Structure 1
Amino acid sequence: MSNLSADLIAALLIGLIGSSHCVVMCGGIAAALQLAMPTLSSRRKLQQQLLLSLGRLTTYGVFGALVGYFGVSAMQLAGTSLIWLRLLAGILLLMMALYISRLWFGLLHLERLGQNLWRNVQPLANRLLPLDSFAKAYGYGLCWGALPCGLVYSTLGWSLASGSAASGALLMLAFGLGTVPAILFTGSAANKLIKLKNMPIFRYGTAVLLAIYAGYTIWLAVCRLVF
């Protein structure tokens, strides 16, 4: 399996397991947006929710591409080996594994960094309410992608170390796809999903797999730097 394929699987798992935090942080927004939709059929509401998620993933992908391009360009301008980026990727992946296992919550402090961005974006998002068209739903999703989230910012840092704009975008899209089920489900369905992901064997098992992959990534980077 290539490094990129393994990275994408890891990003998907991080989004899926870490989205318990998304339910707490974004689930209220998702529920409120249901009320912001005019009286629509269940099918139409689902379409609107999917477009919201599509807009959010679009923002993630654009951010991932930008930081991925910036990362590789900065390393090339500095004349520094790209292996340092893989080392950074491994360290960030290890941090996310610790977060998922709930042994360390340092990532939550990163959310403060995006507060100013969200204050500027939120008024624009509010102008799109009520969500009475597909265009408004997609547009609101684009704004939603700027909501401060430590896990999102950590994955963006990982995208910075991805080595290219395309890889950075794919990493963020894989992460975003992992969060979609938690956002789409509300009420009892969301509670059942949270309970499943909070089961120790499920949570710790995923964290261990991510930590092993993080260690492998760090080991390969160190070996290439040393030898």
Structure 2
Amino acid sequence: MNVVSLLPVFMIGLLGSVHCVGMCGGIVSAFSFSATSRRTIPIKVVNNATNSSRPSRGNLPTVLAYNAGRIASYATAGAIAGGVLQGARTLTGIAVFQVEAYWFVNLLLVALGLYLTGIWQGLNQLERVGGMLWRYIQPFTRFLLPINSIPKSMALGVLWGWLPCGMVYSMLLTAMLSGTAVSGAAVMVAFGLGTLPTLITMGMLGTRLKSWMQRRAVRVISGLVIVIFGVLGLLRASHGLPGSWMDAVCITPMSVQTTP
């Protein structure tokens, strides 16, 4: 997977960050409040549990550390996912999937776009599966609160990176189909970087951005753009996967060979 083919992954992260606002918004928006208040700030987390956080340093370093930890977890998961397929291909000597993988990835993009618009919620099933792992991880977050140091903030981000999220899981499947552990990690880093602008801004502005990002119109527009990415990819697949300018807007798994 080359740099150009990672551009649509970044864009999906950027557009899909309207969903991240709901998943991570409680914790990152608390950073902005604590920057101007000396009170303990409650943070709403999964299952309506509450914790408290009060960064003792500047707002931006704390937010950056949290997101660095989160993206590190994404990269680790992507490397594992890509390595699974790489190992299977090495053991069997068979180039698995090929064009079928390309069709699957782009159908998944259409599903992700519909998920963001609220039209279809099938990816919630993936979140329920991930919830089984999160039950074991979540208790460790209480040892990092209050967030009074940069290392604590980064460690919390590392744990939060495993929060059940249908959007993240859909990108992990894309990372798996990229073909190798390195490219799988690259996919998830590109995705994580795409979510970064929104979550950093929310860490600075708090609920002011969250209320705007959670408007239905914003979610629908973002979801429909991702649907368009998927449809363009499917159209490309139906025409023999020709290499073209569409590389910049279509996800292409490493195992798929394109012709110039």
What is the TM-score with the length of structure 2 in the denominator? Answer: 0.73
Partner of 2:20: 22
Aligned ranges 1:144-223 → 2 under 5 Å:
144-184=160-200, 185=202, 186-195=206-215, 198=218, 203-217=223-237, 220=240
Q: Tell whether 2:114 aligns with 1:98.
A: yes
Higher helix fraction: Structure 1 or Structure 2?
1
Partner of 2:250: none
| Gap regions ≥5 residues in structure 2 | 35-40, 42-51, 242-255
How much identity, in percent, do the aligned residues show?
Answer: 33
Which secondary structure does the structure 2 equivalent of 1:73 belong to? helix
Q: Which digits, 9 at most, give the CA deviation of each residue in 1:105-150, with x for residues without a partner?
A: 2112210011121111111121011111111111111000010000
Q: Indicate if the aligned counterparts of 2:82 and 2:179 stay in contact, CA closer than 8 A.
A: yes
The CA RMSD measured in Å over matched residues stands at 2.7
Q: Which runs of 4+ in 1 moved over 6 A?
A: none
Partner of 1:68: 82
CA shift at 1:154, angstroms? Answer: 0.7
Change (3 A) 1:78 1:169: same
Greater displacement, 109-118 / 58-67: 109-118
Aligned residues: 219
Structure 2 CA distance, aligned partners of 1:95 and 1:203? Answer: 9
Name the aligned partner's letter for residue 80 of structure 2: L
What is the TM-score with the length of structure 1 in the denominator? Answer: 0.83
CA shift at 1:219, angstroms? Answer: 5.3
Greater displacement, 70-79 / 166-175: 70-79
Name the aligned partner's letter for residue 137 of structure 1: S
Change (3 A) 1:117 1:124: same
Change (3 A) 1:87 1:109: same
Q: Which digits, 9 at most, give the CA deviation of each residue in 1:24-46, with x for residues without a partner?
A: 122123234652443646xx122
Q: Which digits, 9 at most, give the CA deviation of each residue in 1:186-227, with x for residues without a partner?
A: 211233344597175555344313321244247547xx89xx
Structure 2 CA distance, aligned partners of 1:117 and 1:101? Answer: 27
Change (3 A) 1:175 1:142: same
